[in-house]
Each structure stands twice: as C-alpha cells, then as structure tokens.
Chains A and B, each alone.
Chain A
Amino acid sequence: MSVTTETTYSSASQAMPIGTPRHHIIIFAVLLGLLLIAPFLLYPVFIMKILCFALFASALNLLLGFGGLLSFGHAAFFGSASYVTAHAAKVWGLTPEVSILLGTGSAAILGLLIGALAIRRQGIYFAMVTLAFAQMVFFFALQAPFTGGEDGIQAVPRGNLFGVLSLADDRTLYFVVLAIVFGGLLAIYRIIHSPFGQVLKAIRDNEPRSISLGYKVNRYKLAVFVMSAALAGLAGSTKSLVFQLASLTDVYWTMSGEVVLMTLLGGMGTIFGPFVGAAVIVTMQNYFASFGAWVTILQGTIFVISVLLFREGIVGVLSKWIKKPL
C-alpha cells in the first residue's frame, strides 16, 4: 500500500536477527513486572484503560505497521465487540469469559466481511472503504434496539469468571485484564515473528514483488485484517467489562482516529510503540480532563509535533538511537 511511505516507518527493521532477540524478552519481562505492581500504586481502572487501548493500538499496528494497511475504521470492531459483550453479560447473563469470546468472535466475523471488500482497494481507497463501513456500523449501533441508542448499554455486570471468581473488585479484575491483554500482546508478537509474519512484511515492503514470487497476497491481507479485527474486538470486549459500559463513543469514527494517533505517536511498525502511544494518550486524557475541550487541542498539537519532529514515533526514535528493533 502506498499510503504509508517508507520514511514514516520506524527503523525497527535493522537486520532483524532471526529468533527472538533477548532485549525483547527483557522488555516484556520488565513490563510485566511493572504491571504486576502497578495496581498497588495507581488507580487500577486507569491502568486497565491503558491496557485495553494498548491492545487496541497493537492490533491496529499489526495491520498498519506490519501489513502496510491503514484502516480508518477499527472502531467498528472495537465498538461492536464492546456492545456484544455488554449485551451478552447483561441481558443473557453469560459469564465474562464467554461474553468476551462472543464479542471477539463477532469482531472477527465483521472483520472478515469488511476486510473481504476493503482489501480489493489500495492505499487511501482502502482507508476510505474501512471508514465507510465503520460509519455504517455506527449508524447501526445508533438505531438498533438492543444497543440502547444514545444511552448505550450501562451497568454491565462484571460477573464471575468461569462462574466462580467475582470480578466486582477492581484489583481482581485488573489481573484478569492484565492476563488477557498481555496474552494478546504476546500473540501479536508471535504473529509478527512467524513464517506468516515474514510474508506479511514482504507484502508490506513490495506487493508486486511478493506476487511475482508466487504469494497470493490478498489472502494474506485478509488473514491479517481478520486477526487485527479480532484483537481489536478483544480489546473492546474487555473494555466494556472494565467500565461496565458499551456506548456510541466506542464505535464513533473519532475512536478510529484516536487509535491511529496512538499507534503513530508510539511508533508504527515497532513492537512496543502502540503500548507507549496508548499510555501517553490515555494519561493525557485522564490527567488533563479538567481542561475540557482543550484536551483535544492538546492532542492535536502533540500529533502535529510528533509528525513534524519524530515521524517514527517515540519508540521508533528510541529504536534508532540504540540501533536495535524495539
């Protein structure tokens, strides 16, 4: 896809050693260590929000940074999964793990439908097709009877995990969310570093050449689109249990924009960039909330600065400094 130019990519590609680089394992371990003690130092719901958006942004990054496909409609997957999980937990009274699986599954199916049509177009047209479908999903969420329209689905019960462990306590829920998100991040890491991931990067780098080597590129694109949609759905489902709410904000196009912003700010095509980007944006929204509408302006300014000064994103720049893919 040509929308993503080479210069905006991070330098994460420096002669990637084959196998898992040790510094990646160390970073994952340190990250996990920090996240394990975090709920005892900070407000758990705040960190859970960061975690959900980190997974959401990482899912988008899988598609954008490694598949070279810019989706501008990822809120459709995040939001629809959020609604399905909320509905399953509240109306059907299902356990949280089943509700989350249903939400994730719905996002995957929706991803298959939208992806199958969107991958026929390239570049900016691809982005526009995803946006158009996401708007249709938004409209559906606004009109459908079970979504609660403007109110959304409120007071979603967190329920008991596997029917036994109550998630009502924030800290208990936190460790479940941590397991889900960390599992999701590791899954993405593996996808990127699999034989499939290699082909994906080849297609991102040079699509005609990949075809001339005999790869059926559309199948790979569709596969990564569905994976990305499902993981975005997993993030949305988890989020609806954390906040006990599924609302129109989750499916609105600004949500799609926000997750693109997080990915770019952190560093697209890097492993840890989306996490950093999500943490920065969520923190800003949280601590600057008193500024009201100014948060949006602040976000815009940061975005402009990041595009002008460090196009590779925070982690992309770091990666260049230490000359190691991050």
Chain B
Amino acid sequence: MSAPDIILSARQLTKRFSGFTAVNGVDLDVERGTIHALIGPNGAGKTTCFNLLTKFLQPSAGTIKFNGRDITSMAPAAIARLGVVRSFQISAVFPRMSVLENVRIALQRRRGDSFDFWRNQKVLNDYDAEARERIEEVGLTEFIGETAGELSYGRKRALEIATTLALEPEMLLLDEPMAGMAQEDVSRISALIRRISAKRTILMVEHNLSVVADLSDKITVLARGEVLAEGPYETVSKDPRVIEAYIGAGHG
C-alpha cells in the first residue's frame, strides 16, 4: 500500500484554558477521501479540537497543516476560503432568511467579497438555479421560500449541509450532525453524508455510535483531551481502554 494521502494533520495540538488543559498534545491525521470520526465521552475535548482545527479557538501549542500548508496562524474566515468548512453543534442556519437565501449566501462567496452595496441584489439571481439544485439534494425543495428559523430541527440540519456543500469544500468538519435528531432524520442525514463523502473528506464529531460505526472509515477516540485509540470501528470498539473510558465516564 502506498503512503496515505493526508489532507489535514495536527501535531501536538494543545489548548489550555486558565488552569485546565482541554486538549493535550493531540496528533491527528485525516486521510483524503475518507470519513473520519472523532468520538469520546463528554468533556473529552472533541469540540475544542474542532474549534482549534478551524481556528475558532487559538491553540496554545501545536501545528495544523492542510494539504501540507501550515494553517496554524490563519484566521477562521481564511481557513474557510481554503476549503475547510465546518458546521456547528447547534444548527447553524440564518434564521430570518429564506431557505433559498441561506444557500445563496454561500454561493455568493464565489463573487469574492460582496462590498457592492450600491448594486441591486438581483445580481444574485444568477445563483438561484444552483441553489435550487443544492436544496433539492437535501430534499428541501418544498420549503424553498420558507424562513429558515421556522423549519423543523432535522430540516435545519439538512439546510445547513446544503449551505456548506454550496461552498464545494474540499473538507467538511461536522460537529455532531445528528445531535437531537429523530430517527428518521438520522437515517436521511446519514445517507446524505455518505453521498457527499464521495468527492470529499469528512471529519465529524458524533455521539451516535451506530452512525459512527456505519459511516466512518477511521475513528479517533479522545478522552481527557488526549488520543486514547485510533483505527477502524471494529478494532476501536474492542479496545479495553475505550470501553473503560466510556463506562468510566458513564459512572462518573
């Protein structure tokens, strides 16, 4: 087998909050074209890791490389422009804008910066056809004119994914995409994630282990801010330390 093609790698990633180390020397390699899951008990530092990788938090130490390029000191918006786009735990839609507008705001990024305040927004109609396609992909066509804030939770997540995909990111970071979802939504979003993973790399934090088992090629288990185990689901799920961490946390 040839050397794995690493798209995103972190070395000795560390984040200290006053007196508390949330993430401690984490090494992470995400292989191109795979679905990589980050799991671990509550407080393991998964979301902090995510925030560090997308620079929504500044790491205390360590380096992050995307496609071999050091992005450790970049601003979050700049990282998004490179093609690493994240989602959020709480569904991240623009609640007062319509479904169409939500997706269009991502497509609008292709114009570069939109500081043209003197121009009629009709120029954005050029993106409508593509926005409709994206919305169709996630099955929201009948809600296209609806205000995003009034959608059901599952549909908000779907809209969020449509918006993210509109940027055509090389890499997606999904923070608990299934959190708080009804079972039928879970299977729909699962199928959607699998479909979109065909052309891109996905790193996700997820609690729903059956989803993780089903979707991911590789799993990294975090506990107390450190990497506990790594590998495919079959190996990781049998690792006694992982079982210990989960059960321990359950009783703690």
B-facing mask of A200-213, CB < 8 A → 1, else 0?
01101110111111
Asked whether B43 is an interface residue with its Cβ less than 8 Å from the other chain, the reply is: no
Given the interface pairs A6-B149, A15-B98, A198-B105, the reply to whether A212 lies near B54 with Cβ below 8 Å is yes
- Tell me, rounded to whole Å, the shortest Cβ–Cβ distance linking B106 to chain A: 5
Chain A residue with Cβ nearest B107:
A213
Asked whether A190 is an interface residue with its Cβ less than 8 Å from the other chain, the reply is: yes
The residue that A206 contacts in the complex, of B80, B94, B109, B124, with Cβ under 8 A, is B94
Is there contact, CB below 8 Å, between B115 and A223?
yes
Complex interface residues of chain A between 214 and 241 (CB less than 8 A to chain B): 214-217, 219-220, 223, 227
Is there contact, CB below 8 Å, between A194 and B88?
no
Asked whether B147 is an interface residue with its Cβ less than 8 Å from the other chain, the reply is: yes
B-facing mask of A179-210, CB < 8 A → 1, else 0?
00000000000110111111101101110111
Chain B residue with Cβ nearest A213:
B106
Is there contact, CB below 8 Å, between A205 and B97?
yes
Is there contact, CB below 8 Å, between B109 and A198?
no
The residue that A213 contacts in the complex, of B85, B96, B100, B118, with Cβ under 8 A, is B85
Asked whether A9 is an interface residue with its Cβ less than 8 Å from the other chain, the reply is: yes
Contacts of A308 in B (CB 8 A): none
Q: How many residues belonging to A are interface residues under a CB distance threshold of 8 Å?
A: 37
The residue that B147 contacts in the complex, of A14, A212, A215, with Cβ under 8 A, is A14
Is there contact, CB below 8 Å, between B121 and A198?
yes
Is there contact, CB below 8 Å, between B121 and A18?
yes
Is there contact, CB below 8 Å, between A195 and B124?
yes
Docked pose: A215 CA to B147 CA in angstroms: 22
Contacts of B120 in A (CB 8 A): 19-20, 190, 193-194
Contacts of A198 in B (CB 8 A): 101, 104-105, 108, 114, 121, 124
List the interface of chain A (C-beta within 8 A of B). 6, 9, 13-16, 18-20, 190-191, 193-199, 201-202, 204-206, 208-217, 219-220, 223, 227
3 closest A-B pairs (Cβ-Cβ)? A214-B80, A13-B96, A205-B94
Selected A-B contacts with CB under 8 Å, 24 pairs: A6-B149, A13-B96, A13-B98, A15-B146, A18-B121, A18-B125, A194-B114, A194-B116, A195-B123, A195-B124, A197-B121, A198-B108, A199-B108, A199-B114, A205-B93, A211-B76, A212-B80, A212-B86, A212-B87, A213-B105, A213-B106, A215-B77, A216-B77, A223-B117
